[in-house]
Amino acid sequence: MVIETNKVVAVHYTLTEGTAEGQMVESTQGREPLMFIFGVGMMLPEFERNLSGLKTGDTFAFAIPAAQAYGEYDNNALVEVPKSMFEQDGKIPDGILEVGNMLPLQDQDGNRLTGMVAWVGLDKVKIDFNHPMAGVDLYFTGQVDSLRDADPSELAHGHVHGAGGHHH
């Protein structure tokens, strides 16, 4: 069996910035593997393209340029807003406006988005709406841990069920 559309794939991987020697971003080593249904849009398309055709036990090492991962950094996604936007009952809750905090926000149309506090001034705050990995070239190394057919309920729900997956 090889990795192809509608297969449940479990991989152990290490993600670093740029190259195999780059700063480590995350790793599944010593934890549960990453499990996903191949070809249903859960993963970066370029990540899947590099895994396509592999089988259980195969190792992998590949780079994904920022533009094909989470996009290039967009300076227009760094927005300055009034600090008063964050007031509740006339004051800003302690700890909310700290650089690096991820904030769940809504735009004027009610759409939910997440922004990171990038800078805090006296009256204004800069919120960064770029993905945290925008502008970063990714490098994955790892091994295919297991592979199986997705069952009909997993395909209907669009995610893996059971151990290592979603529990209803």
Structural domains present in the chain = 7-70+134-157 (3.10.50.40), 75-128 (2.40.10.330)
The model's pLDDT over 69-102, given as tens digits with 9 standing for 90+, comes to 999 999 999 999 999 999 999 899 999 999 999 9
Nearest alpha-carbon partner for 102 in 90, 92, 116, 89: 116
What does pTM read for this prediction?
0.83
CA distance 94 to 104: 16
CA distance 160 to 76: 36
Q: What is the arithmetic mean of pLDDT over 30-53? A: 96
pLDDT at residue 167 in the model: 47
Q: Which residue has the tokens 């760094």?
A: 78
Residue 62 has pLDDT above 90, yes or no: yes
pLDDT confidence band for 165 (50 / 70 / 90): low
11 CB-side CA count, 13 A? 27
- The phi, psi pair for 49, rounded to 5°, reads -55, -40
Q: With contact defined as beta carbons under 8 Å apart, do 66 and 137 qualify?
A: yes
pLDDT at residue 41 in the model: 92
The model's pLDDT over 122-152, given as tens digits with 9 standing for 90+, comes to 999 999 999 999 999 999 999 999 999 999 9
| Region for 143 from its dihedrals, namely left if φ exceeds 0, alpha if ψ lies in -120 to 50, beta otherwise | beta
pLDDT at residue 71 in the model: 96
CA distance 136 to 97: 25
CA distance 158 to 41: 9
Q: Which residues contact 113 (CB under 8 A, 6 or more apart)?
A: 104, 105, 106, 107, 129
- The phi, psi pair for 137, rounded to 5°, reads -75, 135
Residue 42 has pLDDT above 80, yes or no: yes
Which residue did the predictor score with more confidence, 166 or 79? 79
Structure tokens at 137: 């070239």
